[in-house]
A and B are shown apart, each in its own frame.
Chain A
Amino acid sequence: MSPELLSNLGLFVLALLVGFEVISKIPATLHTPMMSGANSIHGVVLVGAVLLAGVADSPAGYVLTFLAAAFAAMNVVGGYVVTDRMLGMFRAKAPARPAAAGDGQQTSEVAR
């Protein structure tokens, strides 16, 4: 077993433990946004797509790089935007506002 693999395994196990600990404290109210937020975090696979591009040297490689990048970017961008839109709806008081439908769009514009 190489030193890299060993230290990667260590990271993996510690991150699992942190994940268990962090999530068990979240109230049910926020479970859906939380799931969506966690969903966007695994969009980090976009980093993997970037690394693929570094070694792609054939048409097939380009196509696969394109696919991986498109999939991952959709996951990461869409995930954060939809989570932000959801969370933007949580507020303590209900302020009067003219256009309810427009507000959802504004909140997501703030995100990007």
Chain B
Amino acid sequence: MSTTAALVGLVYLVAATTFVLGLHLMRSPATARRGNLLSAAGMTAAVVASVPLLLDHTSEIGGKVLVGAVVALVAGTVVGGAAGFVSARRVKMTAMPQLVSVFNAVGGGAAALVGAVEFARAVTESRATAGFAVPVVLDVIIGSVTFSGSIIAAGKLQGLVSGAPVSFPGSRALTMLSTVVALGVGVWVVVTPSTWLLVVVVVASLVFGVLMTLPIGGADMPVVISLLNAFTGLAVAMAGFVVDNEIMIIAGALVGASGAILTQQMADAMNRSVLSIMVGGFGTGDAAGDAAAGAGGQQSVRRMDADDVAIQLAYAQKVVVVPGYGLAAAQAQREMGELGSLLASRGITVYYAIHPVAGRMPGHMNVLLAEADVPYTQLKEMDEVNPEFATADVALVVGANDVTNPAARRPGNAISGMPILDVDHARSIVVIKRSLGHGYAGLDNELYTDPKAGMLFADAKKGLTELLAAVKTTVG
């Protein structure tokens, strides 16, 4: 081992430590930001340290780095870095999940490219052994699937691709075919290394990524993005095996494992298995029957206007707000935060009950509310807040549906067993919602016909604006 390689190895060790410590510091909101900066510093060190490693390695094999390659590398880094920087700064917080998905796509794409290019070179130098080809094939398959899958997922969240489960005649057969081709030809590449065969693997994997993501409904996208995030980690680790680089292996495996855990937790909170999400089509086939079973007749709901609700809120002692997807979709987090702080300034105890999958990703609602200056001490997670409902004068549900449906406590419907917020335990309930339309699970919400409940029919932004004005008038 040369001195350069040893020094670079030490820098990699430091970088790996910062990645782990960075994730560790993210356990608490107070230290999370420092954790991210630490991780970014380690990343910068690792990338910079790789330049001498590159020079060392190239001279070792008797070559020299060509000007064209340096230009390509620098230009690529500047263009990509600028694109990432600008989009990260400009994106609206509500559109953040799709941006993460795009970053994930390009990461997977880069990993697949690195693997494929190294393989092509190894083939021309006839040193592509089976042991070398195995990580290449894994890297290329996972990276390509992540690339096309993440782009479709981002498109669905952005509304460029239909959010509804998409399928066409023969789509299942085509999915199967692309799987068989990617895996079958992948094995063939290991046995007889060939660049053209690897290209076939790339194409089949890209097709599979698209077909895998299209039939999945928009509401499941967070789980899919998280899963693809874990995939990218694994692809990067495989690319690390291909180019024999420790930091890529460590960081990739770290992300692969943490992404897998996160995906599992998200799926658990939705009472869905990762497998059934990936099979897709939820909310289309079996939901129709469930809706009929769960309906419980045509019970009437109580309609309220903003002034009624304002009086209830202004004279409450304790208000628990339940924000949901509708709040995120209407981008009403500022109005929500303003209403909350107005109530809090009158000495009313205000909590925000955050269901694990509220919004579009776990924790997304926290980010949105934090953007609107809601102190994170008012944000309570499900287990912490559920006992509070019994002593709450008003539970204010804003654009949340299935996560408040008491039907989840009974067996025999689509959401049975899903952990829910005990909104029905509150002394009174106000629901701001555009219509009585069904949630993602396609069920009637029994909460709305509860005698304690009133409905304020409005889009979350309009409803909260009206409510804010009405509360201000009421309290003078």
Q: Name A's B-contacting residues (CB within 8 A).
A: 1-2, 4-5, 8, 11-13, 15-20, 22-57, 59, 61-94, 100, 104-105, 108, 111-112
In the assembled complex, B160 has its CB within 8 A of some CB on chain A: no
Whether the Cβ atoms of B23 and A70 lie closer than 8 Å is no
Contact A50 to B51, CB < 8 A, known contacts A16-B253, A65-B72: yes
Q: Is chain A's interface secondary structure helix, strand, loop, or mixed overall?
A: helix
Residues of A within 8 A of B30 (CB): 92
Give 18 pairs: A residue, B residue, CB < 8 Å, sorted on A. A16-B254, A31-B361, A34-B26, A45-B239, A46-B47, A49-B114, A53-B70, A59-B68, A67-B109, A68-B76, A68-B110, A73-B79, A74-B84, A81-B84, A82-B100, A86-B96, A92-B376, A94-B373
Name B103's contact: one of A75, A86, A87 (CB within 8 Å). Answer: A75
In the assembled complex, B153 has its CB within 8 A of some CB on chain A: no
**Which of B162-170, B226-234, B278-286 is the interface stretch?**
B226-234
Contact A112 to B85, CB < 8 A, known contacts A20-B261, A34-B363, A35-B100: yes
Residues of B within 8 A of A31 (CB): 262, 265-266, 361-363
Residues of A within 8 A of B93 (CB): 86, 89
Whether the Cβ atoms of B110 and A45 lie closer than 8 Å is yes
A10 to chain B, nearest CB (A): 10
B230 to chain A, nearest CB (A): 8
A69 to chain B, nearest CB (A): 3
Whether the Cβ atoms of A23 and B258 lie closer than 8 Å is yes
Q: Is chain B's interface secondary structure helix, strand, loop, or mixed overall?
A: helix
Whether the Cβ atoms of B43 and A50 lie closer than 8 Å is no
User: Considering the complex of A and B, which 6 residue pairs feature the smallest CB-CB distances, nearest first?
Assistant: A78-B84, A19-B257, A69-B76, A73-B80, A70-B80, A15-B253
B279 to chain A, nearest CB (A): 23
In the assembled complex, B69 has its CB within 8 A of some CB on chain A: yes
Whether the Cβ atoms of B107 and A70 lie closer than 8 Å is no
Residues of A within 8 A of B46 (CB): 44, 47
Residues of B within 8 A of A77 (CB): 80-82, 84-85, 88
Q: Name B's A-contacting residues (CB within 8 A).
A: 16, 19-20, 22-24, 26-30, 32-33, 35-37, 39-40, 43, 46-47, 50-51, 53-55, 57-58, 61, 63, 65-66, 68-85, 87-89, 91, 93, 96-97, 99-100, 103-104, 106-107, 109-111, 113-114, 117-118, 121, 131, 225-226, 229, 232-233, 236-237, 239-241, 243-262, 265-266, 269, 334, 337, 341, 354, 356, 361-364, 366-367, 370-371, 373-377, 379, 381
Whether the Cβ atoms of B255 and A38 lie closer than 8 Å is yes
Whether the Cβ atoms of B118 and A52 lie closer than 8 Å is yes
Whether the Cβ atoms of A88 and B258 lie closer than 8 Å is no
Residues of A within 8 A of B78 (CB): 73
Name B109's contact: one of A19, A37, A71 (CB within 8 Å). Answer: A71
Pick the most buried of A19, A24, A52, A61: most chain B CB atoms within 10 A of its CB.
A19
C-alpha gap A9/B255 in the complex (Å): 16
Whether the Cβ atoms of A41 and B39 lie closer than 8 Å is yes
Contact A69 to B77, CB < 8 A, known contacts A29-B381, A31-B262, A42-B233: yes
Contacts beyond the supplied A44-B247, A78-B85: 16 A-B pairs with Cβ under 8 Å: A15-B257, A19-B253, A20-B261, A26-B26, A39-B107, A40-B36, A45-B252, A48-B243, A50-B51, A50-B54, A55-B121, A61-B69, A73-B81, A78-B83, A90-B366, A94-B341
Whether the Cβ atoms of A40 and B236 lie closer than 8 Å is no
Name A53's contact: one of B73, B79, B376, B377 (CB within 8 Å). Answer: B73
Closest partner residue, chain B, to A51 (CB atom): B243
Name B259's contact: one of A24, A38, A65, A91 (CB within 8 Å). Answer: A38
Name B43's contact: one of A30, A54, A76 (CB within 8 Å). Answer: A76
Contact A75 to B104, CB < 8 A, known contacts A28-B381, A48-B114: yes
B27 to chain A, nearest CB (A): 5
C-alpha gap A55/B57 in the complex (Å): 9
Residues of A within 8 A of B22 (CB): 37, 41
Closest partner residue, chain B, to A13 (CB atom): B253
Closest partner residue, chain B, to A69 (CB atom): B76
C-alpha gap A61/B75 in the complex (Å): 14
Name B247's contact: one of A26, A37, A47, A54 (CB within 8 Å). Answer: A47
Residues of B within 8 A of A15 (CB): 16, 237, 249-254, 257
Whether the Cβ atoms of A53 and B85 lie closer than 8 Å is no
Residues of B within 8 A of A4 (CB): 244
C-alpha gap A88/B33 in the complex (Å): 7
C-alpha gap A79/B250 in the complex (Å): 18
Whether the Cβ atoms of B103 and A37 lie closer than 8 Å is no
Whether the Cβ atoms of A40 and B40 lie closer than 8 Å is yes
Whether the Cβ atoms of B26 and A16 lie closer than 8 Å is no
Residues of B within 8 A of A39 (CB): 100, 103-104, 107, 229, 232, 255
C-alpha gap A78/B96 in the complex (Å): 11
